[in-house]
Amino acid sequence: MLQFLLRRTFGAVVILFLLSAFTFFVFFGAGDPATMSCGKNCTADNIALIHQNLGLDKPLPTQFWDFFVGIFAGRDYSIGHCSAPCFGYSFATKQDVFATLLDRLPTTASLAIGGAAVFLTVGLGTGLLAAYKRGSALDKVLTSVSMVLSSAQIYILGPIALGLFVYSGLMDSPKYVDFTSNPAGWFMGLLIPWLVMSTIFTAQYTRMSRSTMIEQLQEEHVRTAKAKGMSSSYVFLRYAWRGSLIPIVTILGMDLSSLFGGAMITEFTFQLAGIGRLAIDSVLTLDLPMVMGVLIFSAALILVFNIIVDATYAFIDPRVRLS
């Protein structure tokens, strides 16, 4: 198991390095970052000074190496020392990029984790119920509803939810409240975004868990257990449920990037100050250090979660460790 995790970790480091190199050469090699940093009313002397301070007068490979080493060792700029992990300073706000990311992380993490908790609980629960009641009216209703909701989009459901719950006066506008200072405010502030963001995933996981459970119920070992006189509910939960988890965990690992993307759209829809909103604002203002920081930081988070999912998958199915 340790060797399996080390292989996954090494692969993640290689991916991060390649992603960092690709984005740096695309962003910093396509134009003049000094002009973007300086703004509209900028003189030639100011641009030359920015070139010197940011090391833009060096060859592009050297600039990338300085940037990459700075992530682990820190780096000195004219406006101050950037401590490791250093992604530089924002062109727009002059703030430390990594400190800004950490400041926005709780909002995005709350959205993603809360949304995942909702769609896993509701999606898997309704999928199992539909499989258990296969062919019944309840099964047909749940399947039909999940098919309709799977085609919905966050930017359509968001305004509808705001109209139904916020503009009607039933609930306050969504907002992020620090969990440690006010858990109830944190829950109520993110309830609508969670429900909206998780709707599409809930529909998908309902259909997936239903189909995988039905497949498992037709397996030889499950039918053998039934033939031995075990109750249907015991066989359902003891044998079929564990087997159906393997493809679900696999799909969950692949959905992590989609979940993060959903959190970004949700932040923009409900005007929440998370990493997704930060990414959109940074792209619109050509804030290259912030865009780089968001990309690398987001990729690192997704890779870490993928390693956790892989470890869970290997724990459920030991054959994975040998592949």
Local structure of 96: helix, strand or coil: strand
What DSSP assignment string belongs to 218-244? TSHHHHHHHHTT--HHHHIIIIIHHHH
Q: Which of 270, 277, 275 is nearest to 298 (CA)?
A: 275
Structure pTM?
Answer: 0.79
For 3-51, the pLDDT digits (tens) are 777 887 888 889 889 988 988 888 887 777 777 777 667 777 777 777 7
Query: For residue 146, is pLDDT > 90?
Result: no
Per-residue pLDDT tens for 51-100? 777 777 788 888 888 888 888 888 887 777 888 888 888 888 888 999 99
- For the stretch 206-248, pLDDT in tens is 888 888 888 888 888 778 877 887 877 777 777 777 777 777 8
Q: What would the pLDDT profile of 268-284 be if each residue is shown by its tens digit?
A: 889 899 998 898 888 88
The single-letter code of the amino acid at 246 is I
Question: Is 226 within 8 Å of 199 (Cβ atoms)?
Answer: no
Task: Report CA dihedral (141, 143, 148, 154) to the nearest 10 degrees.
Answer: 110
| Residue 139 one-letter amino acid | D
